[in-house]
Amino acid sequence: MTNKVKVSNLGYPRIGKNREWKKTLEAFWSGKTDEATFRSEMAGIQLQHLLTQKEAGIELIPVNDFTFYDHVLDTAVMFGIVPPRYDYEGGDIPLELYFGMARGNTRATACEMTKWFNTNYHYIVPEIGRQTPRLTENKPLAAYRFAKEQAGIEGKPVIVGLYTFLKLSKGFPSTDIADVAGRFLPVYVQLLQELEAEGVAWVQIDEPAIVSGLSEEDQSLLENIYQTLAAAVPGLNIMLQTYFEAAEPLEALLKLPVQGLGLDFVHDGGANLESIQRLGWPEDKWLGAGIIDGRNIWRSDLDAKLQLVEKLAAHVALDQLILQPSSSLLHVPVTVQGEDKLKLTVKNALAFADEKLAELTLIGAAVGGGEASAAALATSREALAAFRALPERARQDVAEQVRGLAALPDNRSLPFAERVKVQQQKWQLPLLPTTTIGSFPQTVEVRQARLKWRKGVWNQERYDLFIRKQIEEAITFQENLGLDVLVHGEFERTDMVEFFGEKLAGYLFTRNGWVQSYGSRCVKPPVIYADIAFIEPMTVKESVYAQSLTKLPVKGMLTGPVTILNWSFVRDDLSREAVANQIALALRHEVLALESAGIEMIQVDEPAIREGLPLKAEDREHYLQWAVKSFRIATNHVKDTTQVHTHMCYSEFNDMIDSISAMDADVISIETSRSHGELIVSFEEQEYDKGIGLGVYDIHSPRVPGVEEMTSNIDRALRVLEPEQFWINPDCGLKTRGWPETEGALRNMVQAAIIVRERVVSR
C-alpha cells in the first residue's frame, strides 16, 4: 500500500479541555458577562478546537460542529423555525430567543428535549408546524470563513441533513414528510449554493436517521432530496454521513448522487463491510470509513484497524478512502493528558478525542508502511496487552454469580393485581399521592462541602454531620410542603451513576473525563474497566437516617442496572447484556440491604433504558428482553409489601409500554411535561395497569408553573388513567434548580394535587 488515504474528523467536543465552553455559557446566562464578551470568548474556544485538529494532522477538519447550545437547535433557528408561542416575527434570531427555545423563559415553555438517537446527548426538538422556512443566517458559511481567516483551515462544513432534520422534528403528520421536505429544499439549496460560491470543497451532510431503517417511501424521499441538491450544486463535494449503525440498504444509498458516503465500521456489527464485500464499491465515490470508535474511550487495537483498512482497500481505491471516527467525537472527553491519578496500565488503555485523532493519523501513516509508525504501533500493542491481562477483568466469583442467574426466580412472589392490595393496606396513602423523583438542589454550599471532604480538608465525621443536616432540612421542607412520600435529597451524590460506581468493584474514575449531556450540563461518566461486584451497602446509611426523622415513607434511591450501563463508558470485551447482569447482581445485594434495614419503598431509576434501544427495529426485542430481565434481577426478590418504584425520562415510550409493564415495578414515573404531555396519548391506545406518575411540570426550565397549569396537566392525565393508579410528581432533576423555584413549584404542585383530589373524591 502507499499512503494515499485522507484523514478526517466528523466533529470535535465542544466543552473544552477544562469545560471552558460550559463556564462561558453559564457566566452569560447569570449576567456576569455581556453578549460581546460571550461571543468573543466562544470564538476563542472555537479557534482552539480548530487548531488542535490541525496540529493533529487532520486533513478534513469539520466546521459548524461548534454551537452555543445544540446543533439541531442551530439548524432550526438557521431556517427560522421558531414555535409560535415565542412571538417571532422574522429576521435575525437574538440570543435571548435562541436560549429561550432551549431553556424556556418567563413568557414561554422550552422546546422539547430528547435523546440524540441511542446516545446520552440531548437535542432540542424542532417544532415545524406550518412554518415556511427561510435562511436567517448561513451558519456553515460563517464557520467556514472563521476557520479560513483565523486558522488558515479549508474547513469541511457540517450540516444536519434534511431527511434527519425532519425525522427528528415534530409538528406535522409523518405522512406529510415529503411535502414538508419540499418546503425546506429551497433553503437547503440556497445554503449549499452559497457554500459552493465561496469555494468550499467538501460538505459533510449528517444523515444518521438513515440507519434506523428505510422504507420505500424513505428511499424515494432521500433520492428526491439528493437529486435536487446535486443538480443545484454540481461543483460541491457532498459526503453523505451515517453513523451509530449499519447503513442499509447500501445498494440504494450508493445510487444517490453524492460524491462520498460515510459509514460506521465500529457499531455496525460488521454489516457495512459485509455489504461492501458483496456489492463492491463504485469507482466514482469516496468512502468515509469510520474505523475509530467515536463513542467509547478505549485505545484501538491498531493491528485490527489496519486489517480492516486492508479489507476495504480490496474494494475501494486508497485515493478514494477517507479514514475517520465512527461518529462525531462529541460523545467522548477531550484528552487523557490530565488523568494523572489513574494506574498507568489503565491510563495507557484510554483514548479520548485528541488521542483518537492521533490514532487516525497513525493508521494513515501506517497504511504506507512507514518505519516511523512501527514503534508507535508496538507501543500501542503492548499497552493493550498489559491492560487485557489485569486479573480484575476475569474474577471467578463474579463469573460464578452470573452462572447462578438461571436458578434465581424470574418474578415477584405475587402478581401486581394482588400485590397492590397488600401495599395499599400497608402504606395507607391518599388518592393521587405526591412525591418527587429523588434529588434536591445541589447548592454551592453542598458542592463545596463535598470538595472539602474529597480533598481531605474535612474528615468523614464532619462531612457525615453536614450531610445529616441537609437531610434533616430536606425532610422538614417536604413535610411542610405536604408531600406524601419523601426522599432524603441525595446531597451526598455528585451524579446518579458516578456515586454507585465509586462504591462498586470494577469501576474507575477520571479527573476530567467530561462530556456534554445537554446545554451546559456536562457529565463525567464512570468507566467500567473490569468485572462489577458488590462490596458493601451504598445507600443504607442516609436512607435509614432520613426515615428516622419522619413517620411518612421515605424512598430508598438507587440507579438501575441499564442506566448505570448506558451512562458509563463500558468495557468493550464483553457484551452489554453480560455487563448489565453483573451490575444487576450487585444492585440486588443493595436492594436487600435497604429492605433489611426497614426501607420498604425503593426506587430503582432507569431513565436511560430507552436510549440503549437499538436503532433498527429488528434488534429491539432482544435488547428489551435482557434490559427488563436485568431490572427484575435487581428487584424481584423483595417482599410483597415492599413497593418498587422506577423512573424514566426524555423518551418516547408508546412503542415499549409492554416492556415497561414487564419490568413489574409497582410505580413508574415518566417525564411528560417537556414533551407537552404527548406521552399521555399512549395510554389512550394501550392499557397500563400499574401505578404511574406523569411529570406535571418541567424542572429543566427556571420558570415556576402555576397551580392552574399543573391542575390542567393532572386533569389531562386522568382522562386516560384511573385516579387510583396515578401519582403526582415533577419531572426529574431538581438538583439542577435553586431552592426558591423548587419550593414555589412543589408548593403549587401539592396545591394542584389537593384541588384535583377533592374534586375526584366528591364525584
**In a domain? residue 4:** no
Number of domains in the chain: 1
**In a domain? residue 541:** yes
Cα(329)–Cα(338) distance, integer angstroms:
18
637 is known to lie in a ligand binding site: no
- C-alpha distances in Å from residue 18, one per residue of 207, 388, 439, 493: 30, 30, 26, 22
* Contacts with 708 (C-beta within 8 Å, 6 or more apart), sequence order: 752
Q: Which residue has the cell 383530589?
A: 757
CA proximity to 58, closest of 5, 13, 1: 5
700 belongs to the catalytic site: yes
Indicate which residue of 122, 488, 645, 700 is catalytic. 700
724 is known to lie in a ligand binding site: no
542-583, pLDDT tens digit by residue? 999 999 999 999 999 999 999 999 999 999 999 999 999 999
**In a domain? residue 562:** yes
Buried b (16+ CB within 10 A) or exposed e, 570-591: bbeeeebeebbbbbbbbbbbbb
Q: Given this model, what pLDDT does residue 452 score?
A: 96
120 is known to lie in a ligand binding site: yes
**Residue 713 amino acid letter:** N
Q: What is the mean pLDDT of the chain?
A: 94
Q: How many CB atoms lie within 10 A of CB 267?
A: 20
- C-alpha distances in Å from residue 647, one per residue of 438, 607, 681: 10, 6, 19
**In a domain? residue 386:** no
**Residue 191 amino acid letter:** L
Tell me the CATH number at 747: 3.20.20.210
136-169, pLDDT tens digit by residue? 999 999 999 999 999 999 999 999 999 999 999 9
pLDDT at 656 over 90: no
Rounded to two decimals, what is the model's pTM?
0.90
pLDDT at 723 over 50: yes
Express as a percent the part of the chain with pLDDT over 70.
Answer: 97
Does an H or E element contain 264, and which? strand 260-264
9 is known to lie in a ligand binding site: no
Q: Which residues form the domain of 716?
A: 414-506+532-761
HSE-up of residue 1 (Cα within 13 Å, Cβ side)? 24
Helices 576-596 and 620-635: angle between axes, nearest 10 degrees? 20
**In a domain? residue 359:** no
Does an H or E element contain 418, and which? helix 416-427
Q: Which residue has the cell 423483595?
A: 638
Average pLDDT over every residue of 319-333? 97
- The sign of the dihedral angle between the CA atoms of 391, 396, 402, 403 is positive
Cα(357)–Cα(355) distance, integer angstroms:
5
**In a domain? residue 544:** yes
Query: Which triple of cell numbers denotes residue 19?
Result: 469545560
* Bridge partner list, 516: 522
pLDDT at 676 over 60: no
> What percentage of the chain's residues is helix, strand, coil (to nearest 5)?
45, 15, 40
Judging by beta carbons within 10 Å of its beta carbon (0-12, 13-18, 19+), is residue 216 exposed, middle or buried? exposed
**In a domain? residue 369:** no
22 is known to lie in a ligand binding site: yes
Q: Given this model, what pLDDT does residue 510 score?
A: 95
588-646, pLDDT tens digit by residue? 999 999 999 999 999 999 988 888 889 999 999 999 999 999 999 999 999 999 999 99
- C-alpha distances in Å from residue 671, one per residue of 398, 565, 703: 35, 20, 17
Cα(357)–Cα(54) distance, integer angstroms:
10
522 is known to lie in a ligand binding site: yes
**In a domain? residue 19:** no
- The sign of the dihedral angle between the CA atoms of 714, 716, 719, 721 is negative
CA proximity to 571, closest of 243, 346, 307, 265: 346
Please report, to the nearest 10 degrees, the dihedral formed by the alpha carbons of residues 642, 500, 521, 610 taken in order. -60
